[in-house]
Structure formats: C-alpha cells, structure tokens
Amino acid sequence: MTTARPESDLRLGSWLQTGSTVVAEIADASGFDWLLIDLEHGCGTEATVLPQIQVIRHASAIVRVGAPHPEQIARSLDWGAAGIMVPMVSTAEKAEACVRAMRYPPRGDRGLAGMVRGFQYGLHRDMPSPVFYAQIETIEGVQNARAIAEVDGVDVLFVGPMDLKLQLQSYPERSHLDFAACLREVASAAGAAGKACGLLCRQADDFAELQALGFTHLAIETDITLLRESYRKVIQPFRPEKA
C-alpha cells in the first residue's frame, strides 16, 4: 500500500493573481513555502512582478511566465525570482528550451548581468540555480512526462488541472487515461526520475490522497478565489440568494 510522504516533504504554495503587493505580503506572512506570481492568467503585468518579489521575504517567489519567452524568464530571474513555471510543457524538447533560457552557459543561453537584484545589485555573485516547474497540462505532456522528468534542470512536474481536464474532455480519442490516471502517471514519472511533482488544488481536495500519490508541491487556491469565497461568506447571511 502506498503511504503518504513525510510532512517535511510537503511544500505548500498559493497563486497570486491580483498583482497586489499588499496581498503578496499578507500571503508571505501567512506561512506558505512558495508563492506563484501569475503572468499567464493573472491581473498583474511585468511591472508588478518586481514589487511583489520585493515583499515576499519568507516564501520562495516563483513566476509563471505567459509562454517560454527567454527575455521574460531572464528578467524575472534577474529581479530575484527563485524559480520559473512555464505552462504547456508537452515535450522534452520544450523543457530543454526552458532550461536553457533559465541557465547561464555552458548549460544554457541566459545573459549575465552582475548588477541585477538577483545578485543583490553586485554585492554578491553567488546565485542558487533557479527552480523549474514544468507545467503538465496537455495529453501530450502526460504521455511525455517521463521524458520531460529526465531533462536535467527540470525540478518539478506541475499538473495544471483545468487545462488537462479540458483536453481530456475535448479529445477523448487521444488518451485512454482519465484525470485520476493522469495524476498517477505524472507522479510516477516524477518519482522515477527523482523529481518532485505538484498540483494546483482547491481547499476541498483530498490532500492526504495526493500526498500518498507523491505530490509534494501543492498550491492551495488563488488570491482571487480566496477573496471571492471570503466575500461570499460575509454576504451570505444577509443575501442568501447571492450564495
């Protein structure tokens, strides 16, 4: 029988989509291990990334870029992001291209600037290697999960549940796996390669079951969904029809 991983392996995160430095600071003070600044679907722009990173002092600041654009990846890392999440990583070749955009030569192609915030404006020259969250959210990505996990520089296979579920519903002829089986396959692929795996979760999801599968990097909701549900709970006693 599969057992849950030790609690010490669990890395809890959350999504930051408002672009607000106040929300980012509150989330950071609340005790998350990592926080995801969302440039793909969030309300913030690149101009809001640096201010959010600056107020995240305890958690690891991860930036999800909208697409694997090398210049956007490099800027986020120069600003001090601890890692990058890239959506729709469906092949090992795409994963390799992302790694090269994140790493300096000889492993990659990223340009070096020693005076950036990531090097404390030139006061320190040592910077840890950025963490790469490769987002698995297509049928092709699940099918290639083992090859993606084997890419040197991929640290976390991170399932995007909404897009993956949409793909499975839209193209049932492309896969014999349901969503639960896809989760098992991604977790198995990550485990076989010695990599971590993660998932964006709702508060109602079964965290014990996910941990038992091997998911350690779990993101709980987004700032928008948490605010929405909190506002609904406040108004519900007075306006039950709004619930």
Q: Among all residues, which ones are annotated catalytic?
A: 41
Longest dimension (CA), the chain: 62
Sign of the dihedral defined by the CA atoms of residues 12, 151, 74, 126, in that order: positive
Strands 11-16 and 156-159: unpaired
190 three-class SS = helix
Residue type, 65: V
CA distance 139 to 88: 10
- Residue 16 is given by DSSP the state E
> Which residue in 143, 130, 138, 131 sits closest to 195, CA to CA?
131
Q: Which string of DSSP letters, residue by residue, matches 65-127?
A: -SS--HHHHHHHHHTT-SEEEES---SHHHHHHHHHHHS-TTT--PPP-TTSGGGGGGT----
